[in-house]
Chain A
């Protein structure tokens, strides 16, 4: 019986390591290839160990971009992705927390209809209304702008629902107590509710940052200028249909750079990430 238990444990370790290997292999391969010479890769002769072109490739990728065209250096794309992800995450948190505050802590006409108007947006991702949204953004002259990149993606109810749920669990006594201290709605929000919401905001921020950073279809449609491209769009434009022209080391270095920030966030802020993921999906 005890022996069986021991064997089972080895099997479990083995299966887990195989799983880890399957998940990690594509990324390892991409990294290794990004340190090798393009000609070697194009011949199908690449090595499974890192080559000697690491600094050269990454310098070229970040500061110069692919050769032979007018493509932007990936540094610019990283910046665009970062600004877009931050705007989406912070914008959504900001507008959601105040609207949830109004819905929970005030009684006013049309409170429930307003709540439902916001709630329904939970159901539909931007993809299903993509061209009409594009037209509106174009009419507002927001193409190729950070506002155009982020605003349509802020229009969703997840964060509002999350904050509403959290506010409902905040004890009534806190409001009574701050009232007795003479606090109005602003001070109560700022001094009591915001500090209490810190963990929720952080967990939500982690999830929204990753979602924002990884946006693809929307930026693809509304950015036309090369200097407004996000990194996800940049990658796809680097893959040419004719294999011979694709600069694989640069493409794969870009892929590695594109996944570094969100993967870093998941690994380093794992607790917040898991919490955010579980709560936003409820």
Chain B
């Protein structure tokens, strides 16, 4: 944790940590504390008085069918986005891990979408799948699908999932490729000598050895689906139609914009915090276990 030999100074170390401490306290702890505090308060309709109501805001929030639906929806989105982008990325990484000519070029051509911002991803996909002028929408109609994500909630959800998964492929690909390259060649050779065919070799040797990477990516992808899809949703559907694409983060945003219920909005933030802390804790525990292995 610390060096054996250190500098002696009474004030200098405080001066060095002061800028970061100030930023963190003002822009992190203060607002987080405010959110927690507000979630226990109830404001009257005119904002004149507030009362401490314990968990009233939470109880009310969780009893709303709307909120419950948003929780379920967010998890469905997360699983779909993670599943789609992880499996495609794994396929590509396994292919790119082979000794092929042009391997470096393949990597470059597959990782750049990481840098595309969520709202830009939204624009790209909304343009291709716009019911009246999109090229892919035209294609879908030709094969007999009545494509209209502006009215059909399931189609809108599918559009968000596809766009979000598209962006995340490159990130997953990069980590899968690194994971594959860290598997010792000797292990694979041993399996080959034992006569295991490539497909079998993948499922019995490669896949188990990749499981730490898969688990890590699963958590990262879920967090991505929770937060970074905001820009995609906001440019493609704005939560609609009829809330069919309203995730938890999008709901916090919309409810906050409408103003109104501060306590409920704060309670929503706190629930989100709890979910993220839980996910991070799961990840840390796992990382620890990997280290002691």
Contacts and interface: CB of A to CB of B under 8 A. Distances in A.
Interface string A123-166: 11101111111011100000000000001101111001000000
A155 B28 contact: yes
A15 interface: yes
Nearest to B171: A277
Contacts of B73: none
B14 interface: yes
Contact of B277 (A105, A123, A131): A123
A96 B21 CA distance: 10
B68 interface: no
A267 B116 CA distance: 12
Interface in B221-270: 227, 230-231, 234-235, 249, 252-253, 256, 265-266, 269
Given A15-B91, A23-B169, A266-B115, A95 B20 contact: yes
A178 to B, nearest CB: 11
A172 B17 contact: no
A197 to B, nearest CB: 15
Interface string B165-196: 01001110011001000000000000000000
B273 A128 contact: yes
A262 interface: yes
Nearest to B236: A239
A263 B116 contact: yes
B3 A172 contact: yes
B252 A130 contact: yes
Nearest to B197: A4
B138 interface: yes
Interface residues of A, number: 99
Given A23-B110, A114-B17, A124-B28, A16 B178 contact: no
A45 B5 CA distance: 72
A108 B128 contact: no
B269 A99 contact: no
Given A16-B106, A23-B169, A259-B115, A243 B132 contact: yes
A11 B130 CA distance: 33
B46 to A, nearest CB: 19
B158 interface: no
A9 B98 contact: yes
Given A98-B16, A132-B35, A216 B2 contact: no
A15 B3 CA distance: 50
Interface stretch (A24-32, A51-59, A63-71, A72-80): A24-32
B48 interface: no
A214 interface: yes
B269 A26 contact: no
A259 B27 contact: no
Given A16-B95, A102-B16, A172-B3, A128 B119 contact: no
A262 B118 CA distance: 13
The residue in A15, A137, A236 that gathers the most chain B C-beta atoms within 10 A of its C-beta is: A236
A30 B123 contact: yes
A219 B183 CA distance: 42
B132 to A, nearest CB: 6
Contacts of A26: 124-125, 127-128, 166
A217 B230 contact: yes
Contact of A30 (B3, B110, B124): B124
B69 interface: no
A255 B13 CA distance: 45
Contacts of A277: 114, 171, 174
A258 B231 CA distance: 14
A29 B35 contact: no
A232 B269 contact: no
A29 B24 contact: no
Contacts of B122: 236
Interface string B135-151: 10010000000000000
A282 B249 CA distance: 25
Given A104-B2, A128-B276, A266-B112, 13 more contacts: A12-B98, A16-B96, A43-B133, A98-B16, A99-B21, A108-B9, A123-B280, A151-B26, A179-B5, A214-B116, A236-B231, A239-B123, A270-B111
Would you list the 4 A-B pairs with minimal beta carbon distance, nearest first?
A132-B31, A262-B115, A214-B117, A102-B16
27 contacts: A13-B100, A15-B91, A16-B95, A19-B91, A20-B109, A20-B110, A26-B127, A102-B16, A102-B17, A106-B9, A107-B6, A118-B17, A124-B32, A128-B269, A129-B32, A133-B27, A155-B24, A172-B4, A175-B3, A214-B117, A214-B118, A236-B123, A243-B133, A255-B124, A266-B112, A277-B171, A281-B175
